[in-house]
Amino acid sequence: MDPQGVPYTPETAAIDVEKALKMLEGRWKLLILFQLFDGGVRRFSELERAIPAVTQKMLAQQLRQLEKDGIVLRRVYPEIPPKVEYSLTRWGQSLCPALDALLTWAGKRPDGGHQT
């Protein structure tokens, strides 16, 4: 990465960050990632159950985007009945520290005291 001709400036960095963040945008993506985060391999229906509020359409759509972005791996077993498993790609796993930090933060509640 980073071909030697390309200078690394704050501007190009900002663009990279923006593109990377875009991959995580979407109402359900982080929730999906949290399911896969623990090294988990989950089937479509397992994800549906784990995230009750999501619809089939949105789940499928966001999974496909994550797959296209190389974050999630989709493995299809040509069986009857169909079986599809989702997991993190190697690159997706590089997200784990961030996912972990996010989860930690989300677990904290604001103390309700005066903010400074």
Which range of residues in 29-37, 39-47, 57-65, 77-85 is near a second copy by CB under 8 A? 29-37
Residue of 56, 2, 69, 1 whose CA lies nearest to 28:
56
Instruction: Tell me which of DNA, a second copy, none is bound by residue 12, counting a contact when its beta carbon lies within the kind-specific cut-off of 5 to 8 angstroms.
Output: none
Tell whether residue 53 is a contact of DNA (CB under 7 A).
Answer: yes
Phi first, then psi, for residue 86 (nearest 5°) are -115, 145
**Residue 51 C-beta-side C-alpha neighbours within 13 Å:** 23
Which range of residues in 9-17, 59-67, 88-96, 102-110 is near DNA by CB under 7 A? 59-67
3-state secondary structure of 86: strand
Which CB sits closer to a second copy, 25 or 56?
25
Q: Smallest distance, Å, CB 74 to DNA? A: 7
Residue of 84, 48, 50 whose CA lies nearest to 67:
84
Task: Please give the residues from 37 up to 66 whose contact with a second copy meets the rule CB under 8 A.
Answer: 51, 53
